[in-house]
Structure 1
């Protein structure tokens, strides 16, 4: 006879089909994929079972939407499992993700699953997931009124998902460095650049000692991937948007015109109804709102940004390495952070100081092969 482990002996029974269905309606995600065996897919102690148990607990408490803590822990994880369960993952408008975009999503899912296993809450026996302590709200200019949706330019002509040219020059080392330096030295308006970001200084850091790392309890929730220019990082970002149906997503970029481009991309890829202006203070929404803003806005409003944002996507993540921007990222311990860059090979050490876990890599050398 098989041994009964303490976990097996105390685990709550699998909820019935009706309860699972109600939990799926609450969190707007599947707990069971087609043709999956419930006993295996929802085995006690697995991240998906923990997510289900936590959702059922919230249902029994009368919740109408999932809590902020549930959205932070499980919305992206379950959504990535859903998106990647299809043989050919697609966005809302039917765009198929290319292998490199799929790799970015699957690498992040693997990292999230590993983190959940290390930090699993005691929910497989029916015990509720502990609620997160509320984040301090710094006084700021907000009146609690809903933010206005950003204006989207119908005339924008954006093509950010083109495949990498297979005939690209294979002389990778000089080309990679040159491309990275060109991106870092772009001439942009002063009010569109992070206040503390010095591109030239970052390039000169090299392998110099950058000093003792600051205390960083949220480092395990910050990931990054490196994809060459033209590999479709923006479409990969749309994949993360698709995966987060209840948790809000904040996309940060270093130039105002890129804010407009991301908003146009969201509109054309099928996520227009989720785009909204920035939420501050106690404003909340559990329908996966997506906001695009600059790093300067982020630094200026640090401490007063709504906890509805459970995922922060950092475009051109190397531009988030300045002291004030990095400190604001480290101090916001609630969300998952996902950094995207094409220049990781040049300043990888400094990117990994802020985004410790690399989930995918497709650099210019690989693209040229």
Structure 2
């Protein structure tokens, strides 16, 4: 659902740019509370994984494909504020390096794909977590539904932005029906990918799933006919937890590289939902050439590499590498700023005690 330049007029593009900038600013502050020593690297990996999976367009209808948006997935695994930043990093890399999504439409894309999908997905997820039984399977079910709802929600948001600032005169009812209809189908694919990924992580490291924190019900033991809370299990040693986290990160990064570098070659070549609707309804009549059209990585291929498989694979590997480095650096800086702030607060609290002594 990457909106190119020319679909939305300048005033609405500017307005959504302001909204996106505000959302990123709020998310930078909120992410300080979400990111820890082990979750900061996971957030960088999350951005790279979303980038990789977005290269895997899957068929959803005759002549139409879809791909992961990733907002709900990121929010559930690393937190809603961090999730907004993960998708933003991906969109920046795609727009600047791969000419995917217009640069003047960056605010539109961040607002739609980054903010709307993350907020809607996480709200639905939290509501379901409160309503459903307290089981581990509930996390997977809630992830499925949250992701499913987030995609048509993004389609509705785009339709609203097009209604206000579209550059072509197309009946809004036709756009709404076409966008929501096709993106409900795409949402099913999003839901399957999200539930499978969350289920895989929660199976090996449930403590790293942000949306599942504090959810596990205490273990009950029957003693003399009465149920009592069992003693909490001992936490794993620091070294064991560290090795486990490193293993998860290494496995996740390897998966992202394989998906982007190898599996992406077999992705559907059909236009995605927005592209299909734009072509069928005439929304793309005023589309503009991308400012990064001459990028060496434009259209997810390496310039001057003639072999399509090798060109696409190299582009995917480069994209994953750049995204994990940029995302990892951003989240490392955020965590360090939080730690520095905590040190300053602790020092300030200790000063009056020292004076009394």
Q: What band does the TM-score fall into relative to the shorter chain? A: under 0.3
TM-score normalised according to structure 1 size: 0.22
Instruction: Identify, as 1 or 2, the structure richer in strand.
Output: 1
TM-score normalised according to structure 2 size: 0.22
Q: Which has the higher contact order (CA 8 A, sep 6+)?
A: 2
Structure number with larger C-alpha Rg: 2
Instruction: Identify, as 1 or 2, the structure richer in helix.
Output: 2
